[in-house]
Amino acid sequence: MSEQRLRTITVNQAGYSSAGEKLALFTGEVSRFRVVNLQTGSVVFTGETGEGVEDKPSGSRVHTGIFSAVTTPRQYRIEDEDGQASPAFVIADKPYGDLQQGLLKAFYYYRCGVELSGEYAGPWGHEACHLAAGTVIGQPELKLDSCGGWHDAGDYGKYSGPGAKAVADLLLAWELYPAAFAGAFTLPESDGLMPDVLLECKVELDWLFKMQETGSGAVYHKLTTQNFPGLEVMPEEDTAELYFSPVSAAATGDFAGVMAMAARVYKPFDEAYAARCLEAAVTAWNWLEAHPEEPGFTNPPGITTGEYGDEEDRDERFWAAAELFRTTGGEQYHSAARELAKLPFPKYSLGWADMGGYGTLAYLLNGEAQSEPYLYAELKQGLLAEAARLLRQSRKDGYRISLLEEDYIWGSNMLVMNNAMLLLAAEHFSGNAEYADCALDHLHYLLGRNVLGISYVTGFGEHAVMHPHHRPSVGDNVAEPVPGLVSGGPDRGLHDEYVQEHLQGKPAAQCFVDHEASYSTNEVTIYWNSPAVFVTARFNS
């Protein structure tokens, strides 16, 4: 385990833009600091920290040090008068190019069913895994092809709803910031024609097709073994029987939404594939229409893997209707979206359980001219109001992010990046650069400008996560973890045995430990990576 201690000087360890604002955050009673060029050892800037802010979530008094005057592309470190030093960081015109590539390449490492070769995987390869057919629960005689897609997290389960969220984030990143994805050829399929981000999403979409029940159009909720394998088990060693859990309305709505989205995005590259996506989306939607009152999903007897239970499916139905309307222009989908929007469910959330924000984005991105004016105005006003709330909260926070003390939950870094996504959506619809500045502060937090001074992205930063709860990283006998994985982050609920033993009494933002046994703070998932790709793409475009 990496030693956990508070660091006096915290920075974004991936770096800062030459032209942008540059802040370091200090704890304790700091006054003067200096910026040192690591190549020459010379001091290039001296400054004084501002008045301290008492930051309750972190349990610290936080001072801000501004060094925006340093603009020359180089590698630097910050030191205070007591000899404390920050991790190294770069200043560059576009410092987040490698970060974005790493966050996106992580999805390649999550691939299931194929060999990851040394040419593309480096030392983190493994043999083809999970090639056997899966059994449909309730129909033991029915065996289906289950191969492909992405492993969901630190385990090897595959889940329709969380997978759809991850794909949606990546497709939105491509739609809004296509320039950020130019010129990257890092996958076996890279052909110079279809961008890598779309090639990678296709891996998950191809698997999602297999999750749609033949005949009905409904979508199986998840595909897992009965129990989690041991923490050192490599993917190809996980040979327990696979099971398709029953269909759910939430999974079917997510499937319809992401397939309608994919139909639109892939059409310029592969019309036949786009048509297949749209047909699958329509079939799923027809099932939803025929099943207006479906119970929420719970694990079937004998299945103990992650449940991803969801009692509320109106948000997924809203997303599906809005995406189908955006892609087809069909009035039946517009009518359904208008009716669903009248119902009380979260319309600005981008989490796997509350997908209403994706419906709102689809409706707004379709344009005012195509919309019902009142609904367009209402959704836009609501989105901007939520972004303004996040902005206000960030300005009060010592580490300049939007999380309240109670928001440091299991997967808090997903909230950090989802909130940054929403702020960037507000920038898109309002033109207000303050929202982008605030979103960038959230990225700074993720990359090390936090009370623990840790970069929550493996492989990026001098003090990055080294021991994620991620079976391939534990079992592959490689010292470095698989790179580009976003760790879950602080969880004040202390939901696993390791943190219960080691973190009692810690402030919310300190409830994290870089240990493989801490699944509630240090696991990784595809849908924590995906919003981070979106946010990083904004600052690479």
Closest CA to 238 of 152, 163, 132, 148: 132
Percentage with pLDDT > 70 across the chain: 99
Query: What count of residues does the chain have?
Result: 541
Percentage with pLDDT > 90 across the chain: 94
Please give the Cα distance from 384 to 376 (Å, whole number). 12
Query: Between 318 and 52, whose confidence is greater?
Result: 318
Question: For residue 3, what pLDDT is reported?
Answer: 43
Question: For residue 486, what pLDDT is reported?
Answer: 98
Q: What is the pLDDT of residues 72-130, one digit of tens each?
A: 999 999 999 888 999 999 999 999 999 999 999 999 999 999 999 888 999 999 999 99
In three-state secondary structure terms, 139 is strand
Closest CA to 304 of 380, 225, 247, 193: 225
Sign of CA dihedral 361, 107, 92, 9: positive
CB 176 within 8 A of CB 247: no
Q: What is the pLDDT of residues 440-465, one digit of tens each?
A: 999 999 999 999 999 999 999 999 99
Q: Residues with Cβ < 8 Å from 477, sequence gap 6 or more?
A: none
Question: For residue 185, what pLDDT is reported?
Answer: 84
Question: For residue 2, what pLDDT is reported?
Answer: 44
242 pLDDT above the threshold of 60? yes
Domain 97-371: give its CATH code: 1.50.10.10
Please give the Cα distance from 152 to 469 (Å, whole number). 13
The full DSSP string for 388-434 is HHHHHHHHHSTTS----GGG--TTHHHHHHHHHHHHHHHHHHH--HH
Please give the Cα distance from 23 to 444 (Å, whole number). 9
Please give the Cα distance from 392 to 419 (Å, whole number). 13
Q: What is the pLDDT of residues 371-395, one digit of tens each?
A: 999 999 999 999 999 999 999 999 9
Report the mean per-residue pLDDT for the chain.
96
**DSSP code for 482:** P
The structure tokens listed for 474 are 């534990």
Average pLDDT, stretch 266-284?
98
3-state secondary structure 201-267: HHHHHHHHHHCECCCCCCEECEEECCCCCCCCCCHHHCCCCCEECCECHHHHHHHHHHHHHHHHHHC
50 pLDDT above the threshold of 60? yes
Q: What is the pLDDT of residues 24-36, one digit of tens each?
A: 999 988 789 999 9
Question: For residue 1, what pLDDT is reported?
Answer: 43
Cβ-defined contacts of 43-47 (< 8 Å, 24+): 44/70, 44/72, 44/76, 45/69, 45/70
- Residues tagged active-site: 469, 514, 523
CB 91 within 8 A of CB 14: no
Which residue is listed with tokens 């770069």? Answer: 90
Question: For residue 85, what pLDDT is reported?
Answer: 95
CB 438 within 8 A of CB 427: no
In three-state secondary structure terms, 437 is helix
Q: Looking at this protein, which amino acid is placed at residue 321?
A: A
**Phi-psi region for residue 130, left (φ > 0), alpha (ψ -120 to 50) or beta?**
left
The full DSSP string for 488-512 is ----TT--SHHHHHH-TT--GGG--
Which residue is listed with tokens 């009142």? Answer: 374
Q: Residues with Cβ < 8 Å from 128, sequence gap 6 or more?
A: 113, 114, 115, 236
Cβ-defined contacts of 360-366 (< 8 Å, 24+): 360/322, 361/172, 361/425, 362/257, 362/261, 362/319, 362/322, 362/323, 362/325, 362/326, 363/322, 363/325, 363/326, 363/337, 364/429, 365/175, 365/326, 366/322, 366/325, 366/326
Please give the Cα distance from 184 to 6 (Å, whole number). 37
CB 137 within 8 A of CB 94: no
Question: For residue 5, what pLDDT is reported?
Answer: 61
CB 27 within 8 A of CB 63: yes
Question: For residue 4, what pLDDT is reported?
Answer: 56
The structure tokens listed for 473 are 């990283």
Cα angle: 353, vertex 319, 392; to 5 degrees: 65
Please give the Cα distance from 128 to 451 (Å, whole number). 40
Helices assigned H by DSSP within 64-189: 97-109, 118-121, 160-176
For 344, counting Cβ atoms within 10 Å of its Cβ (0-12 exposed, 13-18 middle, 19+ buried), the class is exposed
3-state secondary structure 39-53: CCCCEEEEEECCCCE
Q: What is the pLDDT of residues 124-150, one digit of tens each?
A: 999 999 999 999 999 999 999 999 999
Sign of CA dihedral 86, 106, 357, 313: negative
The structure tokens listed for 229 are 């394998």
Longest dimension (CA), the chain: 72
Question: For residue 213, what pLDDT is reported?
Answer: 97
Average pLDDT, stretch 218-239?
97
Query: Between 5 and 396, whose confidence is greater?
Result: 396
Closest CA to 481 of 501, 454, 497, 458: 458
Question: For residue 31, what pLDDT is reported?
Answer: 82
CA distances 35 to 26, 31, 46, 61, 440, Å, are 14, 14, 6, 22, 21
For 230, counting Cβ atoms within 10 Å of its Cβ (0-12 exposed, 13-18 middle, 19+ buried), the class is exposed
